[in-house]
Amino acid sequence: MRHEDIGYEADGLDMIGHLVVDESRTTPGPAVLVSHEGGGLDDHAKGKAERLAALGYVVFALDYHGGGARPPREQAMAHLQAIRQDPDRIRAIGRAGLDLLLAQEATDPARVAAIGFCFGGTLSLELARGGADLKAVVGFHSGLSTPRPADARNIVGSVLVCIGSEDPIVTPEQRAGFEQEMRDAGVDWRLDLYGGAGHSFTNPAADELGLAGFGYDASTDERSWRAMIDLFDERLGRPDA
């Protein structure tokens, strides 16, 4: 397995993403773009990338804060606040990571998906709303709202969002708005709601934050992962095919 940190530019910043690919692959295969949580590119996102690569996917974990690391929390939150209401800017950041993934010889450009966690899920959804050729898009405890819901008509693949019922950030009102957005656009979509789970349920480090409504949930982590793999099998085909 080849692990490589790759520098690139996006949003006027020097980004450093993480590529993981099985060097034994002899033909192009399905690929997945991974977008990290709001705190920055960390072991959580890299671990998910490595797990996907072990299954046979070509994986690139992008960076949207710059430097390929976790900035101070105040800096990270300020950056998110600056970009969250600018879909074009968010999509351009995602597009830079996607272009790097597509440039890999091992990537089959006809079988590409994007997944993201927390704001990374928001980024993945915005990338799809921008018309990127993604066969599947998956958001885990991701923000669902957008300033431009009509752009959902540009989504060409299937959408899965996995949300905890007790998430204080992704509210029932936001879920309802997302459902209406998907219906209006005629998207192939699903929303999996996990009872009892809060925000950041995929990340064991969430328990260390000490924030109400945030916490790791092992069963929900695994259930949502299986839901993602089922969608990938449907839309990307088996990675060993």
pTM for the whole thing?
Answer: 0.98
Q: Confirm if 22 and 53 have CB atoms less than 8 A apart.
A: yes
Residue pLDDT, tens place only, 99-110: 999 999 999 999
User: Which burial class, exposed, middle or buried, applies to 219 when counting CB atoms under 10 A from its CB (0-12, 13-18, 19+)?
Assistant: exposed
d(CA 29, CA 57): 7
Residue owning tokens 């699903």? 190
d(CA 189, CA 138): 10
| Alpha-carbon distances of 203 from 55, 179, 182, 206, rounded to whole Å | 20, 25, 27, 6
What is the DSSP pairing of strand 58-61 with strand 13-21?
antiparallel
Q: Which residues of the chain have pLDDT under 50?
A: none
Q: Could you tell me the end-to-end alpha-carbon distance of the chain, in angstroms, rounded to an integer?
A: 18
For the chain, the domains span: 2-235
**On the CB side of 38, how many CA atoms lie within 13 Å of its CA?**
23
pLDDT, residue 14, reads: 98
pLDDT, residue 26, reads: 87
pLDDT, residue 155, reads: 98
What homologous superfamily does CATH list for 2-235? Answer: Alpha/Beta hydrolase fold, catalytic domain (3.40.50.1820)
Output the CA torsion sign for 171, 177, 183, 185.
negative
Instruction: Tell me how many degrees the CA angle 173-153-101 measures, rounded to the nearest 5.
Output: 100
pLDDT, residue 241, reads: 64
